[in-house]
Chains A and B, each alone.
Chain A
Amino acid sequence: MNSIDEVLLRFTSDWRNPVGIAALALVLFVAILYWEQTRFMLKSLRRNVLRSVLTGMATFILVLVITLVWSILAFLDRQTAAKSENLKAIITEKYQLPSQMPISYATSLAEGAPRNAGDYRVNPAKDSMLWAFYGGTLDPNKKTRENIIFFFAMEPSKIISYDNRTKKYSSMMDDIDQATDEEKRLLNDACREMEKYPYKVLVGPTRLAQMNKRVGERFKVTSLNYKEIDLEFEILGEIPGGRYELSAAMNYQYLQDAIESYNKGKSKDKQHAMTERTLALMWVRVPDMDAFERVAQQISSSPEYTTPAVKCDTASSGIASFLDAYKDLLFGMRWLLVPAILVTMSLVIANAISISVRERRVEMAVLKVLGFSPNQILSLVLGEALLIGCTSGLISGWLTYFLINDLVGGLALPIAFFGKFFISDAAPWWGLSIGAATALAGSVLPAWSARSVKVSEVFSKVA
């Protein structure tokens, strides 16, 4: 990642961003330093309170929409941004999506496929995780969005486990480290329970509500991707919300046992079609890019993985290829919707400030008569626009953060396997920057027109 990307990503994620803090400090400093002028601008805005409020409201709403869109894009950008250390390798089938590899691949892939002394060896107990996907419906006669459930089948110890030596929780799953200690403790207890009773499962809070089920209830799933492998589950608890809102997690062993049970006593050609195709992907955690490249080389050169062939990507490029299906939508959001909103905001501000300047031509001329220079008049008009833009942008960014994250509990927009999106901590800075930039863009022409007011033309009554 180059330094510009790093700055941009930081600006899109962190409220402690030095650029944002410096910008706000600068705005406040200038406003206080030129307090009399600021006061004059505030009074001028009070001249037509309704127009000022409506302009502010328009900025407010448009900043809100941009903040929502940017939050989604910034999150996806972070997911697809290449990391240089502590990165995950995703191993999937090379030529087919969804990937369906034999579970016999799992053991060697979990170690990074070392074959020779000196090959890079992954610690399978700590740094690898297998994934299978099991989906089905609670009502095979009437499939609805609400009664279809989709499980990540995995080893519970990889969801979370507690290391007695380091006294720390560790997880292979993203964002689990952001849960509170209490949530981690409860999740750890639940995972141990899942190991003991493989039919017990964890379900995301939103999915649970959609299914109209409660913790402790049992239900039967008629499988959609494992035909005739219908499983009964008991809801053990909820997965911490956020990105797992709509997901559910089950013990892979339960699926494996069910397939083995189905195959028992059957000849090879009568065995379940998915028997050798349960492994969807493997995650392997490596410390740096060098280790990743070694593991990728070991896997691609191994004769073990030929039918089917496999490939090894970084998690970011894996997610990026998964998001390929949404490429057009994301492109439209980034390059059409956002610019269109920014242009609309600038036009709204330009319209309001133009009307204001047109109405106040005599006042601009009076100010010139009193000794205000053309540039001071220009600054006054730009300042009024900036006051509206910055204030409504900052408030909008902050309120969007508060409303979506704290009040609504996230923006439910299922894109790929991300169920909910949260507004970035940096949203107030986005609001401030967007408000300031569009206010400036929208008020430059009206301000220039105010600067160019000819006193003699305004006051002279030359025949």
Chain B
Amino acid sequence: MSLAPIVRVENVCKSFRRGSEQIDVLMNLSLDVPEGEFLALMGPSGSGKTTLLNLIAGLDRPTSGVIRVGPETISDMSEARLARWRTRNVGFVFQFYNLLPVLTAYENVELPLLLLPMSKAMRKQQVTTALDLVGLSNRMNHRPGQLSGGQQQRVGIARAIVTDPTLIVADEPTGDLDTRSAHEILDLMVELKNSLNKTILMVTHDPKAASRAERILHLEKGQLVSETVPGAPALDSRITSEPTA
């Protein structure tokens, strides 16, 4: 990769305690993600891909190691500071959309903007733009219950991009969709990456979905085991589970 990494994960370990037992989910994992890359994370259940995604998105903190996103070292941040950082820097797309059922599509997309110092007119402009980008400006007054799964996921994507974040993280964004809707959502993500130069990290079980990414990382038992570029042979030498320092 010739581009400077926007995400740098260095020697990250993450373990959980369950009673007296310690579960090591990530072990000395290091990873660079260049700006504007569409990266897919694959691996069996329990391999630690969602945990890694949560750490990069600032939803959790590593047991040890350093995570940098842009100029910020997010692994050191307090919970409140992380929350503020997430508002501006991360857009999250969930498997089950997780739209708030009492809010309309417009209000769901507007929600992250309420946390920013922004006029109502500005908010309206950004929400309209985001909904336009995902092709749902004609459904902005519908509640989630009145939208199909694919449409709800589009609203979820609009909500993720509305703050113009540095990073978009998506946890199985097509996992709850039929083939056609999944295809449309992946098209949309590729379009966002190409037109807005967004860095996208996507966790998926689906090889077809992963094949839309520029690079695929495979995790097993908390370690990166292989890297592939769709259409090319595995490039194991480009990844490491050993400390880089």
Residue of B nearest to A46 (CB): B102
- A373-B84, A374-B80, A462-B51 given as contacts; is B102 within 8 A of A366 (CB)? no
Q: How far is the CA of A373 from the CA of B77 in the complex (A)?
A: 13
- Residues in chain A near residue B87, CB distance under 8 A: 370-371
**CB contact between B84 and one of A369, A371, A455, A463 (< 8 Å): that residue:** A371
How many residues of chain B have a CB within 8 Å of chain A? Answer: 33
**B interface footprint on A142-159 (CB within 8 Å = 1, 0 otherwise):** 000000000000000000
SS class, residues of chain A in contact with chain B? helix
Tell me whether B100 is interfacial, beta carbon within 8 Å.
Answer: yes
Tell me whether B57 is interfacial, beta carbon within 8 Å.
Answer: yes
Tell me whether A327 is interfacial, beta carbon within 8 Å.
Answer: no
Tell me whether A460 is interfacial, beta carbon within 8 Å.
Answer: yes
Tell me whether B25 is interfacial, beta carbon within 8 Å.
Answer: yes
Q: How far is the CA of A459 from the CA of B54 in the complex (A)?
A: 9
- Residues in chain B near residue A449, CB distance under 8 A: none
Question: Which of B108-116, B126-134, B185-193 interfaces with chain A?
Answer: B108-116
- A456-B59, A456-B60 given as contacts; is B100 within 8 A of A369 (CB)? no
**CB contact between A460 and one of B50, B100, B101, B103 (< 8 Å): that residue:** B50
Interface positions, chain B 7-64, Cβ under 8 Å from A, are 16, 23, 25, 45-46, 48, 50-51, 54, 57, 59-60
Tell me whether B72 is interfacial, beta carbon within 8 Å.
Answer: no
For chain A, the bracket of interface size reads: 20 to 34
Question: Which of A36-44, A121-129, A270-278 interfaces with chain B?
Answer: A36-44
Q: Is there an interface contact between B102 and A459, defined as CB atoms closer than 8 Å?
A: no
Q: In the complex, how many angstroms separate the beta carbon of A15 from the nearest chain B beta carbon?
A: 36
Q: In the complex, how many angstroms separate the beta carbon of B171 from the nearest chain A beta carbon?
A: 7
Tell me whether B98 is interfacial, beta carbon within 8 Å.
Answer: yes
Tell me whether A358 is interfacial, beta carbon within 8 Å.
Answer: no
Q: How far is the CA of A46 from the CA of B104 in the complex (A)?
A: 13
Q: Is there an interface contact between B50 and A37, defined as CB atoms closer than 8 Å?
A: no
- Residues in chain A near residue B57, CB distance under 8 A: 369
Q: Is there an interface contact between B112 and A47, defined as CB atoms closer than 8 Å?
A: no
Interface positions, chain B 62-111, Cβ under 8 Å from A, are 79-80, 83-84, 86-88, 92, 94, 98, 100-103, 107, 111
Residue of B nearest to A42 (CB): B102
Tell me whether B198 is interfacial, beta carbon within 8 Å.
Answer: no
Interface positions, chain A 263-311, Cβ under 8 Å from B, are none
- A43-B103, A44-B102 given as contacts; is B83 within 8 A of A372 (CB)? yes
Q: Is there an interface contact between B98 and A462, defined as CB atoms closer than 8 Å?
A: no
Q: Is there an interface contact between B171 and A459, defined as CB atoms closer than 8 Å?
A: yes
Q: Is there an interface contact between B59 and A455, defined as CB atoms closer than 8 Å?
A: yes
**CB contact between B16 and one of A370, A373, A376, A462 (< 8 Å): that residue:** A462
- A36-B114, A47-B101, A374-B79 given as contacts; is B59 within 8 A of A462 (CB)? no
Q: Is there an interface contact between B84 and A460, defined as CB atoms closer than 8 Å?
A: no
- A370-B159, A371-B112 given as contacts; is B98 within 8 A of A362 (CB)? yes
Q: How far is the CA of A375 from the CA of B98 in the complex (A)?
A: 21
- Residues in chain B near residue A368, CB distance under 8 A: 59, 83
- A sample of 25 inter-chain contacts (CB < 8 A) reads A36-B114, A43-B102, A47-B101, A47-B102, A362-B98, A363-B98, A368-B83, A369-B57, A369-B92, A370-B86, A370-B159, A371-B86, A371-B88, A373-B80, A373-B83, A373-B84, A374-B79, A454-B60, A456-B59, A459-B50, A459-B54, A459-B171, A460-B54, A462-B25, A462-B50
Extra contacts, 15 of them, besides A368-B59, A371-B86, A371-B88 (Cβ < 8 A), are: A36-B114, A40-B114, A43-B103, A44-B102, A366-B94, A369-B59, A369-B92, A370-B92, A371-B83, A371-B84, A371-B87, A375-B80, A456-B60, A461-B46, A462-B25
Residues of B within 8 A of A (CB): 16, 23, 25, 45-46, 48, 50-51, 54, 57, 59-60, 79-80, 83-84, 86-88, 92, 94, 98, 100-103, 107, 111-112, 114-115, 159, 171
